[in-house]
Amino acid sequence: MKVLEIKNVHKIYNSSEVKVHAVNDISLDFEEGDFAAIVGPSGSGKTTLLNLIGGLDSPTEGEIIVDHINLAGLKSSGLIDFRMRNIGFVFQSYNLIPVLTAKENVEFIMNLQKWNKKERDERTLELLKAVGLEDRINSRPAKLSGGQQQRVAVARALASKPKFVLADEPTANLDSKSTETLLNIMEELNREEGITFIFSTHDARVVKKARRVITIEDGQVISDERKN
């Protein structure tokens, strides 16, 4: 089942002297259960594409369709709500709220969505167990390692049961052991629960784990390969 359709998407940035075609007529589909890496050199357009997919930026033209809804057609308030309910995000810099515990960070979006306390508690504990942090439930980010913070971020991204998770360079600030642990957790969640992950990455370790590798150069897809 398709969770995401990208149809003839362009993103053009206008400067005083030149137009920059950051994304140039890209069309892609993503299926439920994809574990995909978008790769390419710096300036290739992969982060721009990820921002467009996540509704953090708007295409100059083209359609990005999630659950039969074109993100480009949503107004700002509707887009924020749709994004919160349908798309999970994992960022390079973790983006946890420093004054909140691991539990409070994970349940933050559920609070915004008005989940009741019992459901929030059950879902939060389930996710922190899944990422191996049930013993750090009351720890604030400053008391967690980088790898642990990123695992909390993964749990938070999954809290609202999104259609897919976007991970922008999620291993960039992690050492080798933390990277391996994080990737193994995400791979297990992908295989066991069918969660769709889409990475933007330079990291060869992420590319090795990915079962689909999409290469972008100069804003265009030059290859889209699925591994057996």
In angstroms, the CA 68 to CA 85 distance is 14
Residue 140 has pLDDT above 80, yes or no: yes
The DSSP secondary-structure symbol of 136 reads G
Residue 228 has pLDDT above 80, yes or no: no
- Average pLDDT for residues 157-182, to the nearest whole number? 93
The DSSP secondary-structure symbol of 96 reads -
In angstroms, the CA 50 to CA 72 distance is 14
Which string of b and e fits 10-44 if b means at least 16 CB within 10 Å?
bbeeeeeeeeebbbeebebebeebbbbbbbbeeeb
Element (H, E) at 2: strand 2-14
The pLDDT-based confidence of 128 (bands split at 50, 70, 90) is very high
pLDDT, residue 19, reads 86
CB 217 within 8 A of CB 44: yes
pLDDT, residue 11, reads 96
Residue 102 has pLDDT above 90, yes or no: yes
Lowest mean pLDDT across 14-23, 105-114, 148-157, 193-202: 14-23
The pLDDT-based confidence of 15 (bands split at 50, 70, 90) is confident
**Strands ordered across the beta sheet of 212-217:** 87-90, 164-168, 197-200, 35-39, 212-217, 220-226
- Average pLDDT for residues 81-99, to the nearest whole number? 93
pLDDT, residue 123, reads 94
pLDDT, residue 174, reads 92
In angstroms, the CA 225 to CA 228 distance is 10
Domain architecture of the chain: domains with CATH: 2-226 (3.40.50.300)
Mean pLDDT rounded to a whole number for the chain: 93
